[in-house]
Structure 1
Amino acid sequence: MVDAAVVLWATVGALILRFGVPETERLSASEQPYVVLSLILAAGWWAMLSLRGSREATVLGHGTEEYKRVVSASLILFGLVAIVSYALQLDTARGYVGVALPAGLIMLLLSRAIVRRFLHIEREHGRSSLRVLVVGSSSGVQHLADSLRAQPMAGYIPVGAYLPGVELGASTTEHLDLRVIGRAVEADAIISDIKAFGPDAVALSSSMQLAPETIRALGWALADLNIRLIMAPALTDVAGPRIHTRPVAGLPLIHVSTPNLEKGQRFVKRTTDIIGAALLIVAASPLLTGIALLVRLDSPGPILFRQERVGTAGERFRMFKFRSMVVDAEAKLERLRESHEGNEVLFKLRNDPRVTRVGRVLRKFSLDELPQLFNVVGGSMSLVGPRPPLAAEVERYDIRAHRRLLVRPGMTGLWQVSGRSLLSWDETVRLDLYYVENWSFLGDLTILLRTFKAVISRHGAF
């Protein structure tokens, strides 16, 4: 219903803007074809959104796939309009198309975001979600259940466990926090137990001990019962762009591509960094000047704070920030380590006595990091990427954490928009590695948009 209202608004609005409101009850000869075109275009647009799967339940409410499908559906439709107009030599008004497409696309994305917010409110109260029965070993079931609970907005609520072949009273089930409804390994018994329990979906973890024939029979039975079947592979923190499924002899083989940016991707990311940072510097130049004056007047010392950080492949560089602490802040650090409130590696302190009055405001809204735009233009940093670490922090890295250095550090990233200083070190590393191994241009845009929200809410900033 929302999609229908938006596409009608866009097409009819474009018609009025292009030709104006008819002065008489009768439409002119030039306007009549566009009235018909508006109705056809609105119906086609609404249908294309459905054909591209933008309203499928599996993509609603979580992730960027829903928005990707809305964009692709809109571009495909108007591409077809352009092709048909050229092939049939139709003189379609460019002003009409030039208004309808961007206006409709922007409003579609905005309306989807609003509807998603209402869906999130529903899911926060345990509604509009799938009740999931998790099948596998005790450890596999617990891991999958914890992963689903960590993303409640995805719409999956673990409500039960099925442990095929796990003996009653096994020590591995002691810490399982789900009700166990069965332990059979035969297809008929499993199906009977599932039918009696009545979940909305069944998730098979990678640790399940079931024969391929049993899984196939289970899939057929769940389809007949209108219960969704979810397969959860052992792969973790691997996003869609790196996963490709290829059926071979009836087996859906999952191919995982190497997590390296190709030359074209590197070019796109670097070009976006240069253009984006340059535009932001120009737009924010009055703000930068004002902050510089406040820092100078607030306390003695330089305006900029320069600190050595570790960049791509361990290369050292000087990172710029507006000075938010007293001049001898580094000398006072050791005395404050006992009051440390950060995670295992990153030093953080909510009420750090070294922070100046202006610095406290700058940190609250992350304005002290604006000079890093010059690092981005210079190539030592990116707009989006892992947090730039200190050399002392890198010395404490394990093999896993060292993979954070495969890409340029960023002014913002998944760590910054997911809680910042409130996160543990393991959570910080996991988020950064997820970004490193699953980079996409749309993902960068999403993080940049989420950054504005994180800055305004000040969540985790201290």
Structure 2
Amino acid sequence: MGHVELPDSDRSGPVGLAGAPRPLTASNRPRGKELDDAWRAPAGQRERSGPAAARRRSGRRLQVVIGTELLGLGIPAWLVLWAGGQPRPGVAAAVAALAWSGVRAARGRYTGRSPGDPPGVLTTAGDWLLLIGVLAVLRTMTGDAVDPATAVVALLPGLPAGLAAWGVRRLRRHRTVRRVLVVGEASRVERTVRLLGSRADHPYRVVAAVPVGTAPLECEVQVPGRLAPAPADDDASTVLGGAFAHDADLALVVPGPQLSEERLRRLSWGLHDGGLPLSVLSELSGIAAGRIRPSAAAGLTLLHVAPPVRRGPQMILKALVDRIGAALGLLVLAPLLLLIGAAVRLGSDGPALHRQIRHGQHSRPFTMWKFRTMVVDAESHKQQLITANENDGPMFKMRRDPRVTGIGRLLRRTSLDELPQLLNVLRGDMSLVGPRPPLPEEVSRYDERELRRLAVKPGLTGLWQVSGRSDLSWQETVSLDLWYVDNWSVATDMGLMARTLRAVTDGRGAY
């Protein structure tokens, strides 16, 4: 039988379906002032921030979002149609607003956005084009006399309205924190807690854990109760009690040998009956949600994983964006490039540009260009500094590298030394977005996992650039690059290019 330990108390007692007190019922609580106080305190918090309150807040936010989109398109559309002398402008605007809301709902814009989905600009533009198609069909079916050109102008406010609603929902998502109770075997719980605690780009905060069995937890997390190694009648009560005691609003279950299919199924029944949402951690990792499609067959839950994009329209579009973007960048930045080149020449002896052999896609070597940030004979001094390497992998990095020139430190901090690589992008050796291009000696030390970084073209910027740069460990760098290699899309590239500007201005991790 499992048990729950009450916070701020040295007492614990069995909690479960087999005669033990259930945490959500007042009549069966343990007696005594101390224990009553322990149960009463979290009950007040749960009323404010528990699942029911979260659902109410979510419902109110959804009403605001839908209202913003309806009024944001409907009122301007009515004004445009009325000013243009179109027949029945009020009816036409109302139909357009309802159709807009219907299109957004049908495409899942009012539900939670998955991390792998395109950003709001792309989804809103796609929905708006679909709206025009829907209204064109309705116009043909009803014989409406509204002028098509005026109608398109009247629908334009739907774009900023949709973007505003997306911005509101995104802002609220960043503010919403899910208080998570992790359930599973000790080793799996520790890994989950460690990984969730290592990143801040998600809304999950672990507040407690309910391990299976008696193995101790080394991670610093509250343990309000434990499940027996074998299935027991009080599994759900133990988890509900732990969630109640720590005001958790989500149970994250990590399956394992002691949490078999049937036990997990019965646990889900009890948790859902108790009003606690449930998430099950998949063994899959490093896969964007947009590549996963769930389905069911013969009572089994299947997760279909789409292969990484390696060919097709997105690859063609990426190549076009690379070449056009590089050409425009070189044209617009030409005065800045000349100014930096002159500063490098005046700052120290040697050429303005530095050439290096790097490995590109499928490990093909190419000559990479960048502004020189070190003394001319920097490579000859590298072996003397090898013991001062601050990176734990094949890359060589020193925060205070004595070979770096004065102007070079500034260029590295702002990443302006990388701008000549636009020439490499224009030539097709590199992409605007991708993993960092490695040196030949680094590639010679790669294992099979690390070699997968070379499955795509290296990039001028990428996840490494916007996630901490040289402050990251080698394994963190590899993990980010592998995520990009497997999950990249044109929408992801656009988002990374936008985030690069903030990373460059911030300058952290650049040395």
Partner residue of 1:266? Answer: 315
Partner Cα distance (1:238, 1:354) in 2: 40
Matching of residues 231-242 of structure 1 within 5 Å: 231-242=280-291
Structure 1 stretch 145-154 or stretch 413-422: which is displaced more? 145-154
Q: Does 2:190 align with 1:149?
A: no
How far the C-alpha of 1:400 sits from its partner, in A, is 0.8
2:323 and 2:151 mapped to 1: Cα distance? 31
Distance 1:228 1:394, change over 3 A: same
Higher relative contact order (CA 8 A, sep 6+): 2
Q: Is the 8 A contact 1:3 1:46 kept in 2?
A: yes
Percent identity, aligned pairs only, is: 39
**C-alpha offsets along residues 223-252 of structure 1, whole Å, 9 cap, x if unaligned?**
222321111111111112432323111111
Say if 1:7 and 1:372 are closer, same or farther in 2 by CA, change over 3 A: farther
What are the equivalent positions in structure 2 for 1:37-436 lying under 5 Å apart? Answer: 37-56=92-111, 58-59=112-113, 64=117, 67=120, 70-88=124-142, 90=144, 92-93=146-147, 95-96=149-150, 98-99=152-153, 104-106=158-160, 108-109=162-163, 112-113=166-167, 116-117=170-171, 119-120=173-174, 122=175, 128-164=176-212, 166=213, 168=214, 170=215, 173-175=217-219, 177-184=221-228, 185-186=230-231, 188-197=233-242, 198=244, 199-207=248-256, 209-259=258-308, 261-436=310-485
Report Cα offsets for 1:19-60 as digits up to 9, x if no partner.
Answer: 7xxxxxxx568145344433433344345434433333x438
Deviation at 1:190, TM superposition (A): 0.9
Quote the Cα distance in structure 2 between the aligned partners of 1:241 and 1:173. 34
1: CA distance, partners of 2:78 / 2:417: 47
Helix, strand or coil at the partner of 1:302: coil
> Cα distance, 1:421 vs. partner?
0.6
Could you state the TM-score of these two structures normalised by the residue count of structure 2? 0.78
Distance 2:165 2:199 in 1: 22
Cα deviation code 1:403-425 (max 9, x no counterpart): 10111111111111111011000
The farther-off stretch of 145-154 and 412-421 is: 145-154
- TM-score norm. by structure 1 comes to 0.85
| 1:293 alignment partner, SS class | helix
Contact 1:326 1:354 in 2 (8 A): yes
AA matched with 2:217: T
Residues in 1 aligned to 2:384 and 2:193: alpha-carbon distance in whole angstroms = 42
Query: Compared with structure 1, are the counterparts of its residues 155 and 333 closer, same or farther at alpha carbon in structure 2 (3 Å cutoff)?
Result: same
Q: Which residue of 1 aligns with 2:24?
A: none
Matched residue type, 2:283: A
Unaligned runs of 5+ in 2: 1-63
Q: Is the 8 A contact 1:163 1:180 kept in 2?
A: no
Return the offset for 1:12: 4.0
Q: Is the 8 A contact 1:135 1:208 kept in 2?
A: no
- The one-letter code sitting in structure 1 at the alignment partner of 2:233 is D
Contact 2:71/2:97, CA 8 A, preserved across alignment: yes
Shift of 1:138: 0.9
Aligned residue for 1:154, secondary structure, equals coil
Give the superposition deviation at 1:321: 0.8
What stretches of structure 1 of length at least 5 have no aligned partner? 20-26, 123-127
RMSD across aligned positions (CA): 2.9
Distance 2:419 2:84 in 1: 56
- Change in Cα spacing, 1:155 to 1:277, as seen in structure 2 (3 Å) is same
Q: Contact conserved, 1:15 with 1:96, CA < 8 A, in 2?
A: no
1:162 and 1:66, CA in 2 relative to 1: closer, same or farther beyond 3 A? farther
Give, as a single letter, the amino acid of the residue that structure 1 aligns with 2:132.
Answer: F
Larger deviation, residues 435-444 vs 79-88? 79-88
Displacement of 1:261 in angstroms is 1.0
Taking structure 1 as reference, are residues 209 and 247 closer, same or farther at Cα in structure 2, changes over 3 Å only?
same
Q: Displacement of 1:453 after TM fit?
A: 1.5
For residue 4 of structure 1, what is the aligned residue in structure 2?
67
CA contact (8 A) 2:435 2:464 kept: yes
Q: Deviation at 1:291?
A: 2.4
